[in-house]
Each structure stands twice: as C-alpha cells, then as structure tokens.
A and B are shown apart, each in its own frame.
Chain A
C-alpha cells in the first residue's frame, strides 16, 4: 500500500497538469478533474465530485474580478440565470448524493461523452447583436462592452430568455450532480442560444459558475463530502497549473490541445461508463 503522503503529491502533479491543459483548451478544470481523478485515484466519487466543484468554484472566483474589470463579464447577463442555476444545482447535488454510485458513474460517463461531442462540434457565433426579447429587456439583460481586438464598443442584448432559463436550470442540475463546473455548457448557451457575443459569453460563464457552484458546494460540505487531503492539493495544483497554462497560451496550438482534451474526455468518460456497469 502507498504511503499516505504520496497521494496528495500525485494528486498535485495530476491537477497541475489539468490546470495547464484546461487553460490551453479553454475549459474549466472541473470537467477534466472529475472523470480523470475518478478514473486514476482510489477516492470514492462522492469526494471527487465535491473536490471538483470546489476547484471549479475557486477557479471561477479567482478569474471573475479580472473579467469584470476588463468588461468581459456582465452581472446583468449572469445574475438572473445564476439564480435559477444555483437553485437547481442544490437539487442536483442532493440527487447525486442520494443515487447509487453505479447510477452516478453511468450518468457521469454519458455526460462526459456528450461534452466531448459538444466540444468536437462547438460552432461559435460572431458578435453582431440579435434582436432582443421582452423578458431579456425587462430584466435589463443588455449593455455595451469594449472589444479590444475589434477596437470598438459592441452593443449586446439577448433573445430566447425563457428558453435560456430552462437550459440554465438543466446546466445547474448537472453541475451539482457531477461536480463538473459548467463552462462547457454555459458558453454555448449564452452565445448560440441567447446571442450574447462570444467574449462576453466566455467571461460571464465564469461569473455565473462562481454562483452556481457555490450553492452545490455547500451541499457537499454540509454532508461531510469535503476531504481536506483531496481538496487542498487539487485546488493548489489547478491554480498553479492554470498560471503556467496562461503563460504557454501564446505558444500553444489550440487545435492540438483541444483534440487532446477531447481524447481525454472520451477515455475517462468511457472508463466511468464501464465502472458504472461493473466492467
């Protein structure tokens, strides 16, 4: 049997690598952490999901101030949807902790494979403002942000707001149930469904994540699923890895990194599915 102190060191090394790859691929650390650590380490999935949520939360909390200051995240866009997502993420966390482990493994595996498929396709819209809808206007989900690359202010408003509430309710449920964070789903929902500009969608996704993951994290904390020996090295590893990843971002080939992440998700998603079926 391995000495206990080797586990946090191994966890730190793996999460450091996850932090680098996550930044290069433009995904949150949680979506890689849960399936990979769940497959490689002996921890029960309850503890892995709690740690996944906390590291996604920490990453989102750390990034949000800079995104807000740069005008790339909008409280107007995130607040109404974060409210519904944070309610359903509590439900998701409670359901995830109540279901048998095999059922959660199967659902996790299927979700990870679906995320890999979503990342494979992932079209992105441009930044032109669509015609807004009444609910979005009533909630003042509109504004202007400065796009430094375009060198001009971009006006934005949102459409299909009622449908977005339903979609973000589903995203919150999955985030709470699997501890995945939810950047992989927030960005397409903001950008493709609601018509928010892509840069604003990416920035506001982190802001929304910081709220949605907070409510689910409390459920895991209150149920006793937070193990310091797993949580602390994982958070420190991902945060330091993300800093290195940000430095490598200028030199990396995004297409190659994206393909590596999709391959990792396919392998770890399949592994979770097989574990769930007892294979």
Chain B
C-alpha cells in the first residue's frame, strides 16, 4: 500500500469514528431529553411535512453556521457530528498535498488543493 493511501485511510478512519461517536452520544442526549432542545420533538413533527423554507421561518431554526450559537441545545449538538463528517474529507485532502508535492506529483497536488477549496466553498457558502 502506498504512503498516500495509508495516511489517507488512517486519517479518514479516525475522523469518521470520532464523528460517529459524537453523533450517537448527542442523539441519545436529544432523544432522552438530557439537555433542552431548541425545538422540542413534539413541535418538530408539526413542521417536518413542509418545505425547508417554511420550517426555517416557523421554527426560528438557524441557517449557515448559525447552529454554532446553539450548541448548548441538544438538537444542535448533533450538528457538530454532521459538521465533522463534512470536514473529515477536507482534512484528509489537505494532508495529501505535502505528500504529493514530495513525490513530485504537482498535478495531483493541484487537484487536491482545488478539492479543498471546493469543499470549503460549499461549507462556507
């Protein structure tokens, strides 16, 4: 197995394990009401049949990275796990760049840099 595959696989595995552990723990906190949610499940069921724009207006749910301000609420704690799932590939690609440059693979290093920019663009849009 090549170095790039080995390192990418290791970083990806750890990132995914941590994100899944946070997802399960935060969902249990939400489901068993260990912390107060921003929107109680009893209210959520009245809104989930409507389009997302209607849900946002009716629930006062944040968009973009506004959920960071609600991390003390159990339903938005779960977002931290989702964000980790969305960032793990960014971190792995960023880790590949110096490896590829060291191997003289400038085109593939450029692709990795562009991929990081695309994913960060999607995350920050």
Contact = CB atoms under 8 A, between A and B. Distances in A.
B39 to A, nearest CB: 9
Nearest to B27: A232
Given A42-B48, A65-B9, A69-B9, A139 B107 contact: yes
B10 interface: yes
Nearest to A217: B86
Given A65-B9, A224-B62, A44 B1 contact: no
Contacts of B24: 232, 236
Interface in A1-17: 1, 4-5, 7-8
A64 B5 CA distance: 10
B107 A140 contact: yes
Contacts of A4: 41-42, 44-45
Interface in B1-31: 1, 4-6, 8-10, 12-13, 15-16, 19-20, 23-24, 26-27, 30-31
A172 to B, nearest CB: 11
Contact of A44 (B9, B27, B49, B122): B49
B118 interface: yes
A43 B47 CA distance: 9
B44 to A, nearest CB: 6
B123 interface: yes
B89 A214 contact: yes
B123 A46 contact: no
Most central of B6, B10, B51 by chain A CB within 10 Å: B51
B94 interface: no
Interface in A222-279: 222-233, 235-236, 239
Given A229-B41, A233-B27, A71 B1 contact: yes
B85 A54 contact: yes
A228 B86 contact: no
For chain B, what secondary structure do more than half of its interface residues adopt (helix, strand, loop), or is it mixed? Answer: helix
Nearest to B93: A211
Contacts of B72: none
Contact of B108 (A76, A218, A226): A76
Interface string B51-82: 11001100001111100000000011011001
A226 B56 CA distance: 11
A237 B24 CA distance: 11
Most central of B9, B12, B115, B122 by chain A CB within 10 Å: B122
B12 A221 contact: no
Given A221-B79, A226-B82, A79 B112 contact: yes
Contacts of A140: 105, 107-108
B115 A211 contact: yes
Contacts of B75: 228-229
B12 A80 contact: no
Interface of A: 1, 4-5, 7-8, 42-44, 46-47, 54, 57-58, 61-62, 64-66, 68-69, 71, 75-76, 79-80, 82-83, 86-87, 90, 97, 101, 138-140, 210-211, 214-219, 221-233, 235-236, 239
Interface of B: 1, 4-6, 8-10, 12-13, 15-16, 19-20, 23-24, 26-27, 30-31, 41-42, 44-45, 48-52, 55-56, 61-65, 75-76, 78-79, 82-83, 85-86, 88-90, 93, 96, 105, 107-108, 111-112, 114-115, 118-119, 121-123, 125
11 contacts: A4-B42, A4-B44, A44-B49, A57-B85, A62-B16, A65-B13, A75-B8, A83-B118, A86-B118, A216-B122, A227-B48
